[in-house]
Amino acid sequence: MKNKTFLLLFLCAIQCTAFSQNDSFDAFARQQDSLMMKAYYDKNPPAYQQAMQEFITRYKALPADSQKQYLNGYVVAFYNLACTYSLLGQKKEALANLQTSIEAGYSDYAHLLEDTDLDPIRKEKEFTSIVQPLRETGDYLYILKKAGAYNREEKQVLPVFTYQTADNPNLVTLRKAFNLDSIAGKASELSRILNLCHWIHNLVPHDGNHGNPVVKNALSMIEECKRDARGLNCRGLATVLNECYLSMGIKSRFVTCLPKDSLGTDPDCHVINMVYSTQLKKWIWIDPTFDAYVMNEQGELLGIEEVRERLINDKPLLLNPEANWNRKVTQTKANYLYNYMAKNLYMLECPVRSEYDTETSGEGKNIEYIRLVPLDYFRKSLEKGVSTNNVTKTSLTTYRTNNPAVFWQ
């Protein structure tokens, strides 16, 4: 029963109150969650099924949009019933409910592998056949390992990445406004790079539940965060840190790290920085959200490309021990690298121009990106994508490549 919790259903109901006015269903969901939890601990499948059926009947009567919001509760209800039957040795019923849960959308492959409730059915042939499809969408390291191949011979002409110089007036103002020379310190270049990351991490909290401000530059976003006592999501933090590096004459890009998401059900991604160290003559991995950087077994700092390759090839990786979320939750190598980032290192994307105000919308503005796509990806087309926001009149152009040399130029 490792990390078993019925509060997944309860939390789903709580989370949905921000988006739904159906307060009566929220209360009902909590009530049924409590009844199912009791039945699970009592090993009482009839009581569990009764509570679950009542939940399902009300759930299916909800509008389609509300059903999407409560889908996690629906999925977990079947999963935990499977656990209940498994603990009682009722293998047929356990396998049937596990299959229903997976078909409905259960995707936590890592938890399924370590959940001791399922040990009584783990060696059954049906278990392997039921779980195998989930591996293709839920085993993130397995998925990443299948995405190691690129086409290094691809020759399509793409834009060259550029970096705004530190004498840009906006960057000069940023550097002076926050006394970044003092924050960075006078030690080695690597020390200055890490000091700036620590500063941003401690200055602005991470808030992944809300969008970033409309004006997306470091001066404006830091001011708005102070004024409104708010935070930024990972993209906002990486944007702010990116401009701080540019203002110090350090080449940097913010990188959107994307999952494969073949089912179209995972909107999550993560944004970090790749920073060029002239001291090391290479790009290095810097993550302001988690105040994280990554090293090899000799303690040498690694870049995103190197970390990805080491994950794929089972080579040692070290996470700095100070890595944390909002100074509240320590990050572990297993969770941060082998689960979360293994999922989000499938594809990578950067703006072509690394500069102040990169993603602030403006009429007539065109923001260009280059996306590095592995050959394993199910969408094979490398045709560039072009779109225009009807409200802001900002155009977005995304170039796609299978050649890593283009991306890491």
Residue 137 has pLDDT above 90, yes or no: no
Lowest mean pLDDT among 108-122, 167-181, 224-238, 351-365: 108-122
| 201 and 293 Cβ atoms separated by less than 8 Å | no
Lowest mean pLDDT among 9-18, 55-64, 87-96, 217-226: 9-18
Plot region of 292 (φ>0 → left; ψ -120 to 50 → alpha; else → beta):
beta
Cα–Cα distance, 294 to 333 (Å, whole number): 9
pLDDT of residue 5: 53
| 201 and 217 Cβ atoms separated by less than 8 Å | no
Q: ∠ CA(343), CA(346), CA(352), 5° rounding? A: 125
Cα–Cα distance, 259 to 144 (Å, whole number): 9
Residue 264 has pLDDT above 80, yes or no: no
Q: Higher model confidence: residue 360 or residue 8?
A: 360
Q: Higher model confidence: residue 264 or residue 391?
A: 391
Residue 9 has pLDDT above 80, yes or no: no
Residue 223 has pLDDT above 60, yes or no: yes
pLDDT above 70 coverage of the chain, percent: 94
Cα–Cα distance, 128 to 306 (Å, whole number): 33
pLDDT tens-place string over residues 183-201:
999 999 999 999 999 999 9
Q: What's the chain's average pLDDT?
A: 91
Cα–Cα distance, 30 to 7 (Å, whole number): 9
Q: Which residue has the tokens 């970090």?
A: 272
Is the entire prediction scored with pTM above 0.85?
A: no
Residue 13 has pLDDT above 80, yes or no: no
Residue range 259-267: average pLDDT?
82
Residue type, 205: P
pLDDT of residue 1: 57
Sequence-separated (6 or more) residues with CB below 8 Å from residue 349? 255, 256, 258, 369, 370, 371, 372, 398
Closest by CA position to 70, among listed 35, 34, 20, 5: 20
Cα–Cα distance, 266 to 326 (Å, whole number): 24
Q: Which residue has the tokens 């009567």?
A: 61
Closest by CA position to 170, among listed 160, 178, 161, 159: 178
pLDDT above 90 coverage of the chain, percent: 78
C-alpha 14 chain-centroid distance: 22
Residue 26 has pLDDT above 90, yes or no: no
| 320 and 302 Cβ atoms separated by less than 8 Å | no
Integer CA distances (angstroms), 286 to 246, 252, 330, in order: 14, 10, 17
Cα–Cα distance, 233 to 339 (Å, whole number): 20
pLDDT of residue 262: 79
Closest by CA position to 406, among listed 148, 146, 157: 157
Band of pLDDT at residue 336, cut at 50, 70 and 90: very high
